[in-house]
């Protein structure tokens, strides 16, 4: 006999309140596109994305409570459900799909068509939602009180903080506005340098910082611990490995370089050495870190999958009330079958029947794993990259052994990996959103429909976003390093062609093993090794601001409110900079960007000093809307 008390949500099951309305649909779709584009830009720059659920929730409350003069918490919940889907689709897409653009730049294949990107994102997103439908009762309902779903629970708490909705929304919008102005001054008008670096004569290392609000915001949101790990990786690569390469190999031509290391350094400085060698070391560390995180999670993965399957097969509908209604299982199964067939038969998607089978088997497995993992450790610790690496390795080997080799095989592998990556990201996001809805008393079916709407909207936008960013700066450049996509490309090439500089890759692998032995999280350090130290230093600055606020001598409730205000402001800054980044990319494509450039009129000394002043203003604006907002 089960004596567990019945859970009662905030809105009772027998009470009907507005959920899917024209307002919630329009607001949610706009936020899905905005946060999807912003996170695509951010992820391609720094290799990380941030959750959009809480910013979307507070904006929803601001719109519905303040502008529409309505008080419907479930309507706001639908907005954040739709809006957060954009971030997850973007995260899955940018980790893999830019590899197709990189191959096109090397002349191996033509650029992917926008329809191909859209269909891959759409099918991956829809599969992620549909795979999660039969898991809801097993993971959200039956495991309530066992699986905390941190982001989903936090989002519910934000939505329940009714009267504070307007103020919180204004903080997000303020962050968007300030970051938009800062970004336009730095990269639009170019009145100050976006990066300041320092070199010491006779030493090949380099240190410095970028001054971008979104990068600083990543450090603040991640906190001082993760930021310090990333910065440590940057210090290792830029102040240890690069100087050693230049010192010992000055007169040597080392593959994949085509001239002596000394000549490369003389022409391009430390950045040239980073581009030719450090990225392979970082890629090895990233691959090893992803595999290590997956191996460490294996016992939980096996337990999760087995428990979920057992719970599903033995589950009985507990009630037929509003809060227990899912999308029809017949519709779910039919949709999964149709989507799998489309993966196989649609000419725009370069996947064979075997590839489609890999998609459905690995997709359901990793959707289950992702849903359970985010319930335990949160979305930020979900090893999506490890799942993608494992999928790519297995898929590439299967394709190679079945005769699908060369460029066609590589494109097929990346398409399979992209769909699986998006499935995992969306399944995790859907789980968090359904947890929020479970606590609030939302209708699961309507939330699932909301997820589908968000997936469709962001999928239609992601292709154009990727094309725009590639046309403006190019993936793999200093502006858009695209670390995960570069890693996936290297893994596929390594399996198919065997042409990787394995000495550099294994150097990164053993750096990751060393870091793991020390008991330090591998992935943040590996990302730090891979990315420019100036970017890592800016992230570290944001982490230090967060550390300072964490150490304030205030009561715990006030300190928590200050930190949360900072998170909302930083979320707004990420969205604001991302949107202006998209705007500047659009101007660059049409040849208008150079007309705004005023850097020629600024003396060099003022140019760099202005950067430091701008950086200080960004930090001051963050303090203004966090700790100083609550003064008095």
If you search the block for the tokens 């992702």, which residue do you land on? 370
624/618 Cα distance (integer angstroms): 10
If you search the block for the tokens 């907002």, which residue do you land on? 629
What DSSP state is assigned to residue 499? -
**Cα-based distances in Å from 520 to 49, 226, 524:** 21, 10, 9
Report the percentage of the chain scoring pLDDT > 90: 38
Using CB atoms within 10 Å of the CB of residue 377, give its burial: 0 to 12 exposed, 13 to 18 middle, 19+ buried: middle
Residue 3 has pLDDT above 70, yes or no: no
pTM above 0.85, yes or no: no
| Alpha carbon 64 to chain centroid, angstroms | 27
57/339 Cα distance (integer angstroms): 30
User: Average pLDDT of 199-220?
Assistant: 90
User: Average pLDDT of 30-45?
Assistant: 88
More confident call, 114 vs 488: 114
Among 471, 481, 485, CA closest to 100: 485
Q: What is the pLDDT of residues 128-171, one digit of tens each?
A: 999 998 888 877 887 787 777 877 887 887 788 754 445 577 88
550/218 Cα distance (integer angstroms): 16
Do residues 21 and 75 touch, judged by C-beta distance below 8 A?
yes
Q: What's the longest Cα–Cα distance across the chain? A: 79
348/105 Cα distance (integer angstroms): 20
301: confidence class by pLDDT, cuts 50, 70, 90: low
Q: What is the pLDDT of residues 98-118, one digit of tens each?
A: 999 999 999 988 899 999 999
Q: Where are the domains of the chain?
A: 22-173+285-313+327-488
The total of other beta-carbon atoms located within 10 Å of residue 624's CB is 14
Among 296, 290, 620, 260, CA closest to 484: 290
pLDDT of residue 163: 44
Average pLDDT, the chain: 85
| Alpha carbon 34 to chain centroid, angstroms | 14
Q: What is the pLDDT of residues 428-476, one digit of tens each?
A: 899 999 999 999 999 999 999 999 999 999 999 999 999 999 998 899 8
pLDDT of residue 318: 47
pLDDT of residue 317: 44
Residue 1 has pLDDT above 50, yes or no: no
323: confidence class by pLDDT, cuts 50, 70, 90: confident
Do residues 215 and 535 touch, judged by C-beta distance below 8 A?
yes
């Amino acid at each position: 006999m089960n004596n567990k008390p019945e859970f009662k949500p905030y809105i009772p099951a027998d009470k009907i309140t507005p959920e899917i309305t024209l307002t919630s649909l329009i607001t949610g779709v706009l936020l899905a596109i905005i946060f999807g584009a912003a996170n695509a830009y951010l992820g391609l720059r720094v290799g990380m994305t941030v959750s959009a659920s809480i910013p979307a929730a507070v904006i929803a409350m601001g719109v519905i409570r303040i502008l529409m003069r309505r008080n419907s918490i479930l309507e706001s919940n639908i907005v954040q459900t739709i809006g957060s889907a954009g971030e997850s689709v973007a995260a899955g897409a940018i980790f893999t799909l830019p590899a197709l653009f990189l191959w096109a730049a090397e002349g191996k294949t033509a650029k992917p068509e926008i329809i191909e990107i859209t269909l891959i994102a759409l099918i991956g997103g829809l599969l992620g939602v549909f795979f999660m439908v039969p898991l809801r009762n097993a993971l959200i309902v039956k495991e309530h009180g066992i699986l905390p779903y941190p982001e989903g629970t936090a989002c519910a708490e934000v939505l329940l903080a009714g009267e504070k909705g307007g103020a919180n929304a204004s903080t997000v919008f303020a962050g968007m506005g300030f970051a938009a102005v800062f970004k336009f001054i730095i990269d639009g008008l170019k009145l100050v340098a976006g990066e300041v670096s320092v070199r010491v004569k006779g030493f090949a290392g380099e240190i410095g910082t970028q001054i971008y609000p979104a990068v600083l915001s990543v450090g603040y949101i991640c906190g001082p611990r993760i930021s310090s790990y990333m910065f440590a990786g940057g210090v290792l690569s830029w102040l240890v490995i690069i100087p050693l390469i230049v010192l010992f190999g000055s007169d040597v031509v080392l593959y994949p370089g085509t001239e002596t290391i000394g000549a490369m350094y003389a022409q391009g400085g430390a950045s040239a050495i980073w581009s030719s060698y450090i990225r392979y070391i970082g890629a090895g560390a990233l691959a090893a870190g992803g595999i290590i995180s997956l191996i460490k999670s294996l016992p939980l993965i096996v337990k999760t999958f087995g428990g979920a399957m057992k719970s599903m097969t033995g589950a009985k509908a507990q009630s037929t009330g509003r809060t227990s209604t899912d999308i029809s299982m017949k519709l779910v199964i039919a949709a999964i079958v149709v989507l799998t067939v489309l993966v196989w038969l649609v000419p725009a998607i370069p996947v064979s029947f075997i590839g489609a089978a890999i998609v459905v088997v690995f997709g359901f497995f990793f959707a289950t794993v992702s849903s359970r993992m985010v319930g335990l450790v949160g979305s930020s610790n979900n090893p999506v990259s490890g799942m993608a690496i494992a999928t790519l390795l297995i898929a590439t080997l299967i394709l190679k052994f079945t005769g699908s080799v060369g460029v066609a095989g590589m494109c097929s592998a990346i398409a399979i990996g992209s769909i699986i990556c998006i499935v995992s990201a969306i399944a995790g996001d859907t789980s968090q959103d359904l947890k929020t809805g479970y606590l609030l008393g939302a209708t699961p079916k309507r939330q699932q429909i909301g997820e589908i709407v968000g997936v469709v909207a962001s999928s239609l936008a992601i292709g154009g976003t990727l094309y725009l960013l590639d046309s403006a700066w190019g993936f793999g450049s200093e502006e858009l390093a695209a670390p995960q996509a570069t890693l996936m490309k290297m893994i596929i090439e390594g399996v198919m062609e065997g042409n990787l500089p394995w000495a550099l890759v294994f150097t990164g692998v053993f750096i990751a093993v060393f870091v793991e032995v020390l008991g330090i999280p591998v992935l943040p350090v590996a990302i730090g090794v891979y990315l420019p130290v100036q970017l890592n230093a800016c992230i570290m600055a944001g982490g230090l601001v967060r550390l300072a606020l964490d150490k304030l001598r205030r009561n715990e409730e006030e300190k928590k409110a200050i930190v949360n205000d900072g998170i909302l402001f930083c979320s707004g800054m990420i969205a604001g900079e991302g949107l202006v980044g998209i705007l500047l990319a659009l101007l660059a494509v049409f040849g208008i960007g150079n007309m705004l450039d005023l850097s020629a009129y600024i003396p060099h000394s003022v140019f760099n000093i202005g950067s430091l002043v701008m950086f200080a203003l960004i930090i001051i604006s963050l303090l203004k809307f966090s700790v100083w907002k609550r003064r008095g």
